[in-house]
Amino acid sequence: MAEFVKRMNLNGGERVIDLGGTPEFWADCPVPLDITVMNLPGFNAPKQTAKNITLCEGDACGTGFADQSFDIAFSNSVIEHVGDESKQQQMAHEARRLAPAYWVQTPSIWFPIEAHNHMPFWWFYPARLQQHFIRNWRKKLPEWTKMVETTRVLLRSSLRRLFPDGEIWTERKFGFPKSYVLYKRPPGHQASGLRQPLFEGRQ
């Protein structure tokens, strides 16, 4: 959240659509924003939310909102869950269509612990070994296992192709790339206090 506020240099009052998010995510946002949280039907149960948050149901790959309806399109760990490459392209296009600025985060394949199933170096297991674990998981946690099976983590090079007009920030933990954020600032919003280059070495 701190990096989002700093790198986007928010002034307050920006209209943000959170694709695939939850209202709880925004609880510690220090800047007053006008937030629309969209998720799949039934995901965000009706409840009391902050007055600056609107809940709606829809598909991140095709929201139904008009072009440039918001100031910022935001997404946190969603694009790896929408489906195959064509669906990921649709979501990237939707984020860039909805607003002149965006912030899209997704986990890195290179982090030692996989973000969804917490297995070490999961993406480098042979397919047969992955399927062995998945068969066992499916017996106890079928819905969760379906999520793991359909997760498609993107490489940094793929993200560059999906968001050619954006900059990349690599979030690191213990020296490893933990996640990537593709972002483009709102028009007229300049960077403030950045201490590292926005474009880093290849991952």
Same-domain check for residues 108 and 45: yes
Same-domain check for residues 122 and 173: no
User: Which domain-ending residue is among 126, 150, 174?
Assistant: 150
**pLDDT of the residue at 163:** 97
CA distance 104 to 153: 13
Residue at 61 is within a domain: yes
Those residues whose C-beta lies under 8 Å from the C-beta of residue 150, and which sit 6 or more positions away, are 81, 83
Q: What is the DSSP string of 33-53?
A: -EEEEEESTTTS-S----TTE
Which residues make beta-bridge pairs with 99? none
**pLDDT of the residue at 48:** 59
Same-domain check for residues 36 and 128: no
- pLDDT tens column, 127-158: 999 999 999 999 999 999 888 888 999 999 99
User: Domain range for residue 128?
Assistant: 117-150
Positions in the chain short of pLDDT 50? 193-203
How many distinct structural domains can be found in the chain?
A: 2
pTM for this prediction: 0.86
| Six token digits for residue 113 | 């612990």
Q: CA 161, 106, 140, 22 torsion: positive or negative? A: negative
**pLDDT of the residue at 1:** 92
